[in-house]
Chain A
Amino acid sequence: MEVLVILVPLALGLGLVGLLGFLWSLKSGQYDDLDGAAWRAIADDEPVREEPAP
């Protein structure tokens, strides 16, 4: 059962990483436009600023 010394902190750490990831995604506005995000994922390419479309 000594393996718990490694596994338990690992499990808690991973959980915490997941939570922090979620909070970061929330803060950076990734849930503000759910409809748009669905389409952007399959869009051909993102508009590139440096090379404006003709």
Chain B
Amino acid sequence: MQAARDFSHYVRDLGSGLSHIDLAVEGVSCAGCMSKIERGLSAIPDVTLARVNLTDRRVALEWKQGALDPAGFIDRLAELGYKAYPFETARAEAVEADNSRFLLRCLGVAAFATMNVMMLSIPVWFGNAGDMIPEQRDFFHWLSALIALPAAAYAGQPFFRSAFRALRTRNVNMDVPISIGVTLALAMSVVETLRHAEHAYFDAAIMLLTFLLVGRYLDQSMRLKTRAFAGNLAALKAETATRLVGAGEISEVPVAAIRPGDIVLLRPGERCAVDGTVIEGRSEVDQSLITGETLYATAEHGTAVYAGSLNISGSLRIRVSAASEGTLLAEITRLLDNALQARSRYVRLADRASRLYAPVVHATALLTIFGWVLMGATWHDAIVTGIAVLIITCPCALGLAIPTVQTVASGAMFRAGVLLNSGDAIERLAEVDHIVFDKTGTLTLPELDVVNSAGVPKEVFDLAGRLALASHHPVAAAVARASNAKSPLAGIIEQPGQGVRGFVDGEEVRLGRPSFCEADDLANEILSLDPEVSVVAFRRGGACYVFAVRQRVRPDAQGVVSALQARGIAVEILSGDREPAVLAAASALGISQWRAGVTPADKIARIEGLKRQGFKVLMVGDGLNDAPALAAAHVSMSPISAAHLSQATADLVFLGKPLAPVAAALDFSGKALHLMRQNLWLAVGYNLLAVPIAISGVVTPLIAAAAMSGSSLLVMLNALRARRVAPGRS
């Protein structure tokens, strides 16, 4: 049965007879690919638009409804040498994209207003010293007001809204002093202009907004880039299920289109994409992604199976159940909810700084006003000086200190293969002093690998790999993968439950169970040495070989673990797997603290215990059983191969086979936190210099503008240092 691919879920009807689909494309990297794809797709009749987005690695396609099948586009791209997958924009990404566009619009408005106000301000600054007549100055001030007031009202929205939200929950964040400063500066400038005074601060207020918006926009666009990348990865994983539509008729549909009650077919070697109950068939399933247990479980009529289970031997028909119907899932969901509720709200460094900063600055301004009044100044002059203090201390550098570092650091982490899920993860990661690893799929690779390939002649291994391509069994697939076999052998017969056989140069070749290849003795010898491996035998004519297959630890795991320990970070393993398997991994990696057979509830209890002892715990795990523990830890990380729920819960996600991104993330976050603190001190130092000048009442708008841009530039340049960590550390 060849399943028809059904992409109707992804196709959007644009009206007027046009359809639209977005495809995520692998391997698009240059201008050449771009024009090749666009030409290749535009050549299909009825296609009205084919446009590559090189930043997001996606193709947007529009065509006249009718004869064209979207699956044809994917085949066409495959002919051109690109793997493509239909793509659906996640809601989170759409929100980030809207935010990013809004910030850019605000930034545009603020930047144009700043330029035009500056054009009016500079003549005033220099005219005041020269021969400008007061009427002319007032006229320029009024023009500045005309530009700055509406621009600030529009471009200040992100700050005003966030400040309002914080105040409503009786909190203070950095946007509160910013909003107060901008509003007061503008109000005072209008009053001063009415009084025909010499100084107005329209330029300072609007310039402040521009600088801050630059920082916000950069931060936002980095976050958007990460989201888009993660969205593509989700599409590349191509989560589909084979749905039975009628008697014997099947169609391959995206998981999002599967409804509870549907019946799906799960063939050997396939990973289940839904939760449900087996209604027909009998097989073994690998549930290591769910429980951490590497021993296969039996699935038959009535067994509950979970998304992420790998089907090993026989075909299964599964009735899809509504989410969290199963007992295991319900238990994990309950634990996860509890852990999320108990998660203490981490107060970001920026908010902690503004809690200290806002009262100090506002008190200083008030004291300045009263001080000047006591010294005999008029109320008007005293208030003008007080507001000048607020303007000069307006937290421009403070507001940029953290987002700029965050942008640069998350960009560097992105290049090192780490994606950030939550905004404050960098700060929390920098404090970590205890790491809890899950074993299966985290310290080990999620895929099976041949461990004794060195003892087998190369040509035998290659032949076995080519033979293995004919089988769907995961153990055979591991042999095929390990031997890099590309060309399958012809005329191979699969004997269900036994293995595959065929003929090469007149000799019979077999791959399968040891008994199928008459290699029981050899297999038992390997199993007696290491009871944790799966074995698969290969026979060619009279010679036979046995491959030992198991999950291998990540290639660099040992080095990374010892590097972390050398840095004074405690490392331990909490695994749901059996004791011998965990002991083997722990001793191979030199980890002395480990626990096996741990339930999700035990994992949480252990992490809570560590937290009570004052440790800041980083949990690294991938299984569904790790999700509650990921939520309970101070900060958490998942490999990209993790179960959906775990990946969504983790603060960071790392890519690829090596474990090195975990150490790199710690390095970058440590450096980033250091720079954030340094930037805050730079901003404070600047204020210590500038405030006495403001209090003494000699500040002019020129000084305010120069001080503000100077400190902002300093902080931004310092943030660029987060791109690199000291050599030798990572």
Contacts and interface: CB of A to CB of B under 8 A. Distances in A.
A and B interact: yes
Interface of A: 1, 4, 8, 11-12, 15, 18-19, 22-23, 26, 31-36, 39-40, 42-44, 47, 49, 52-53
Given A11-B116, A35-B54, A43 B31 contact: yes
Given A33-B56, A36-B53, A12 B39 contact: no
A36 B101 CA distance: 18
Given A12-B116, A32-B53, A26 B101 contact: yes
Given A12-B143, A33-B56, A39-B34, A18 B42 contact: no
A53 B52 CA distance: 17
Interface in B126-168: 136, 139, 143, 147
Contact of A33 (B35, B40, B55, B105): B55
Looking at chain B's contact residues, the main secondary structure is helix
B43 interface: yes
A4 B35 CA distance: 51
Contact of A47 (B38, B53, B116, B147): B38
B109 interface: yes
Contacts of A15: 112, 115-116, 147
Interface string B25-61: 0000011001100111011000000101111100000
Contacts of B101: 26
Contact of A12 (B34, B54, B56, B147): B147
B39 A47 contact: yes
Given A22-B112, A26-B101, A26-B105, A36 B35 contact: no
B314 interface: no
Contacts of B673: none
Contacts of A52: 39, 42-43
A36 B39 contact: no
Contacts of A1: 136
A36 B52 contact: yes
Contacts of A34: 55
B43 A36 contact: no
Nearest to A45: B35
Given A15-B112, A33-B54, A33-B56, A8 B143 contact: yes
Contact of B108 (A11, A26, A33, A47): A26
In the A-B complex, the 5 residue pairs with the closest CB atoms: A36-B54, A39-B31, A52-B43, A19-B112, A15-B116
Given A18-B112, A22-B108, A36 B119 contact: no
Nearest to B28: A36
A49 B64 CA distance: 14
8 contacts: A15-B116, A19-B109, A22-B108, A34-B55, A36-B55, A44-B35, A47-B39, A47-B42
Contacts of B108: 19, 22-23, 26
Nearest to A52: B43
Contacts of A43: 31, 34-35
Given A23-B105, A26-B105, A53 B43 contact: yes
Contacts of B119: 11
Nearest to A36: B54
Contacts of B31: 39-40, 42-43
Contacts of B116: 11-12, 15
A12 B53 CA distance: 36
Contact of A39 (B30, B42, B104, B115): B30
B53 A26 contact: no
Contacts of A23: 105, 108
A1 B131 CA distance: 13
Interface in B100-120: 101, 104-105, 108-109, 112, 115-116, 119
A8 B139 CA distance: 10
A53 B115 contact: no
Nearest to A18: B112
A39 B54 contact: yes
A15 B40 CA distance: 43
Nearest to B100: A31
Interface string B644-670: 000000000000000000000000000
Contacts of A35: 54-55
Interface string B172-210: 000000000000000000000000000000000000000
Contact of B35 (A12, A47, A49): A47
A40 to B, nearest CB: 7
B104 A31 contact: yes
Contacts of B147: 12, 15
A50 to B, nearest CB: 10
B34 A40 contact: yes
A22 B56 CA distance: 22
Given A11-B119, A23-B108, A32 B55 contact: yes
A49 B55 contact: no
A5 to B, nearest CB: 11
A12 B119 CA distance: 10
Nearest to B47: A49
Contacts of A44: 35
A30 B55 CA distance: 12
A30 to B, nearest CB: 11
Nearest to B49: A49
Contacts of A40: 31, 34
B104 A36 contact: no
